[in-house]
Structure 1
Amino acid sequence: MGASTNKENRLPREVKDALQLLASDWDDVVDSKALQVIPLKGAMTNQVFQIKWPTRTDEVSRKVLVRIYGEGVEVFFDRDNEIRTFEFMSKHRQGPRLLGRFPNGRIEEFIRARTLSASDLRDPNVSALIAAKLREFHELDMPGPKKVWLWDRLQNWLNAAKRVCPLEEAKAFRLEVIEEEISMLEKKLSGCHQHIGFCHNDLQYGNIMIDEETKSITIIDYEYASYNPVAYDIANHFCEMAADYHTEMPHIMDYSKYPGWGERLRFLRIYLHSSGSKEPRDTEVDQLLKDVEKFTLASHLTWGLWGIISEHVNEIDFDYKEYAKQRFQQYWMQRPELLGSS
């Protein structure tokens, strides 16, 4: 994430109050009101800021992360669920600790680790660490019903897209046939062999951090997290390798960067072999590879619909409509190859 220093008056009063209250408990902070605010770029749902205070120790500052929830995004996920997930992760040392809350956001521990860049996802060493961490994530025993959310979410987002979309735009995106596509995908991809786990559902590089010293990976931002087929989560991660949200045109996907057959195979072998599992059988790897490929279609529909809705509800400077267009194009292009002519 890029950063540029800004005045603290960017923050609403209740956020500053919550931050000052937090800092007043820290003995090493010189002045709880002397906070420096640095907006972090790359978030597409919330506004995210790094907050720093000078301390009595030379050249060391106290840092936290402030997350202000985006307007209109309740259509995408249940904020209470997301907060429950965050608290669970925090308690199980899976992500940053929760330090405080205010009406439309929260204060999190600032993890002393580096957010990954687009090119990191293609680095074999980093990719291997992500594969092992993702398996650990999928095996978390999250409280609540362990039902698959993917198909209901697609249907809900389709309904929301139809509500906000002008007629011409809905026609251009062929929204009238997407309901059938969702039903067809659900039938074809809901085999009894599907492994269901707790999925992140948005594993792009900006949601993964690495501690350069310990080489430990932390997965952050759980807005979209839910139980789902693990093949869907992996497929979504592979699709994200085509994205770079820190270019002049962050909405453009470059599918030449989608991982090749060898890269995908390696990732899946490491994924299946981690968590103390025995060496996976070739048939097991092949089956997962096939499932992951088919689930890329569900990923394209998910983020295509997300783009259409975001165009109408989100203020962040990002060409959501063009992004949606690419995801739908990719869906229609890959569909015959992955599912036959049905």
Structure 2
Amino acid sequence: MQMGPYPSFACKSLHHPLWQPRWEVRIAIRSDVWALKDIPPLSSTSCTLSLGSIASEDENSAVVLEEGFKHSDSTLEASKYKSSTFAIKLLGILRTVGVPSWQETEIEPSSVKIFQASGSFNTNAVFFVSCPLLPTLLLRIYGTSSGYCISRPRELHILKTLSSRYHIGPRVYGTFGNGRVEEYFDSTTLTAPDLRDSVISRWIGARMFELHGVDIEAVLPLTGSEGKSWEIGAEKNVRDWINPAREVLSLPAVPDTTRAELDIDGFFTLWEKYMRWLKEFESREGASRRVFAHNDLQYGNLLRLTLVQEGMPDHHQIIIVDLEYASPNPAAFDIATHFHEWTADYHGSHPHLYDPARYPSLQERRNFYQGYMSQSSTPSQALSEEDLERELETMDCQVRAWSPAPHAMWALWAIMHARDNFERGEGEPEFDYIGHAKCRLEGFRREVKALGVPTSAV
């Protein structure tokens, strides 16, 4: 299997006009489909109960607006989702924020079925909420450690803009003290093998291109609290996360061997050299266009609709969700991030480790690029064979140049998320964050070396 990045690194014709930011985007149409896919069967019990008894559980939660959404101050404890108290409190929240249909119906708490879809209780926990004759909802409860790297107001603004202006992603019905209520899509989550399916891979590429066509200024307005909208997310995140990562590694519970193996200061020195190399590279060869990037396009953040509407483009079966880490970035960074996710198996015996042998081959990468290009104003079918070959080489070269950056960003993310394990002295964690950080930093150093980035002292 041919893999990247490669020991021999040379790019051709990076100034080709098709890779410059003049492309137009065909915005995706969201399918609003309700059903109970992947949810345990419901009883035929009708939803009956006076809402008066529910209102008392949420009577102190004022209806306020948070980023344009109705908000309840109530909170939910994810680990107690099977309890009747949880259901009663949830119904109060749904009534307070005015979720369609759910606020207009008398509901018996015992009729509400809550099914955990994904996540853990210290990161985000996601649940499907259903009741006979009512639309299913998606309930997202923020975990105790999920706020380390995420600006929730920024995320909510992004979700609202994408949904209302671009019809991309789920609608948010309302927020509460530690989570939000979203639209549910009748769909299945993609699996690790799905990413390797040639048809699905092209669809993902097409959907990514559509997301990259979103106006950055509209999604990320310039505000004093959030900083410059156009700053490259990878650079900003590494700069913002390096000191919190250092603080975690300074905790007494962290073994000296772990600190030495991660070598956070040595990493940051190499990161700065890599950034200088990238700037020289893009100045010389041409820059990957700056886009609104997802930055975490793993298989768990990709849905495939169960029902396909008549006349819907085939690639619109794929829905991109979970934009917590979305930000402006080079298109090549987002593609490189996705390719790294080919090497992951979060449901395997070692979910924290990536297997470089599973990195997409050159043929698989070119297949993805053609799906990506299919939504441009000059699709690949309209190109001559020579121009198509030049375009594919250009995209692959840019992706290889940016390939180390996702490893660096997610390594720091993992170190920060290991804080709770060290502070609480927990045993075997649900996810080995430090093991993941080691894996990512190993990938970063390996790929930077393959690019020929100078590592000697400057």
User: With structure 2 as the length reference, what TM-score do the two structures score?
Assistant: 0.68
Find 2:118's aligned residue among 25, 30, 41: 41
CA distance in structure 1 between the partners assigned to 2:154 and 2:163 by the alignment: 14
Q: Which residue of 1 aligns with 2:94?
A: 19
CA distance in structure 2 between the partners assigned to 1:13 and 1:163 by the alignment: 40
> What fraction of aligned residue pairs are identical, expressed as a percent?
30
State the secondary structure of the residue aligned to 1:108.
Answer: strand
Superposed displacement of residue 275, structure 1: 3.1
Find 1:118's aligned residue among 178, 188, 192: 192
Superposed displacement of residue 45, structure 1: 3.2
State the secondary structure of the residue aligned to 2:354.
Answer: coil
Q: Which residue of 2 aligns with 1:77?
A: 150
CA distance in structure 1 between the partners assigned to 2:209 and 2:112 by the alignment: 39
Find 1:330's aligned residue among 427, 438, 443: 443
Residue 293 of structure 1 pairs with residue 383 of structure 2: no
Larger radius of gyration: 2
Residue 194 of structure 1 pairs with residue 301 of structure 2: no
Distance 1:4 1:271, change over 3 A: same
Distance 1:332 1:23, change over 3 A: closer
Q: Which residue of 1 aligns with 2:415?
A: 308
Number of aligned residues:
337
State the secondary structure of the residue aligned to 2:167.
Answer: coil
Kept in 2, the 8 Å contact 1:132–1:275? The answer is: no
Moved more, 204-213 or 188-197: 188-197
Q: Which residue of 2 aligns with 1:317?
A: 430
Aligned 1:214-293 pairs, distance under 5 A: 214=308, 215=314, 216-279=317-380, 281=387, 282-293=389-400
CA distance in structure 1 between the partners assigned to 2:341 and 2:445 by the alignment: 18
CA distance in structure 1 between the partners assigned to 2:161 and 2:188 by the alignment: 23
Aligned 1:77-226 pairs, distance under 5 A: 77-91=150-164, 92-142=166-216, 143=218, 144=221, 145-166=229-250, 168=256, 169-190=258-279, 191=282, 192-214=286-308, 215=314, 216-226=317-327
Moved more, 28-37 or 193-202: 28-37
Superposed displacement of residue 10, structure 1: 7.8
The CA deviation string for residues 164-222 of structure 1, in whole angstroms up to 9 with x for no partner, is 11372332201011222222222222325220000000000111111144342110011
User: RMSD over aligned Cα, in angstroms?
Assistant: 2.7
* Structure 2 stretches lacking a partner, 5+ long: 1-36, 42-80, 222-228, 309-313
Q: Which residue of 2 aligns with 1:53?
A: 131
Q: Which has the higher contact order (CA 8 A, sep 6+)?
A: 2
CA distance in structure 1 between the partners assigned to 2:39 and 2:259 by the alignment: 36
Distance 1:3 1:249, change over 3 A: farther
User: With structure 1 as the length reference, what TM-score do the two structures score?
Assistant: 0.89
Superposed displacement of residue 112, structure 1: 1.0
Superposed displacement of residue 334, structure 1: 2.5
Kept in 1, the 8 Å contact 2:343–2:358? The answer is: yes
State the secondary structure of the residue aligned to 1:274.
Answer: coil
Superposed displacement of residue 74, structure 1: 2.7
Code of the residue aligned with 1:153 in structure 2: it is N
Kept in 2, the 8 Å contact 1:46–1:69? The answer is: yes
CA distance in structure 2 between the partners assigned to 1:160 and 1:4 by the alignment: 41
CA distance in structure 1 between the partners assigned to 2:103 and 2:86 by the alignment: 24
CA distance in structure 1 between the partners assigned to 2:209 and 2:247 by the alignment: 37
Code of the residue aligned with 1:193 in structure 2: it is A
Q: Which residue of 2 aligns with 1:58?
A: none
Kept in 2, the 8 Å contact 1:47–1:70? The answer is: yes
CA distance in structure 1 between the partners assigned to 2:103 and 2:266 by the alignment: 61
Distance 1:36 1:20, change over 3 A: farther
CA distance in structure 1 between the partners assigned to 2:420 and 2:85 by the alignment: 21
The CA deviation string for residues 247-290 of structure 1, in whole angstroms up to 9 with x for no partner, is 23322222221101111122113212323324363223212211
Distance 1:16 1:30, change over 3 A: closer
Code of the residue aligned with 1:332 in structure 2: it is R
Distance 1:50 1:200, change over 3 A: same
Superposed displacement of residue 298, structure 1: 0.6
State the secondary structure of the residue aligned to 1:137.
Answer: helix
Code of the residue aligned with 1:152 in structure 2: it is K
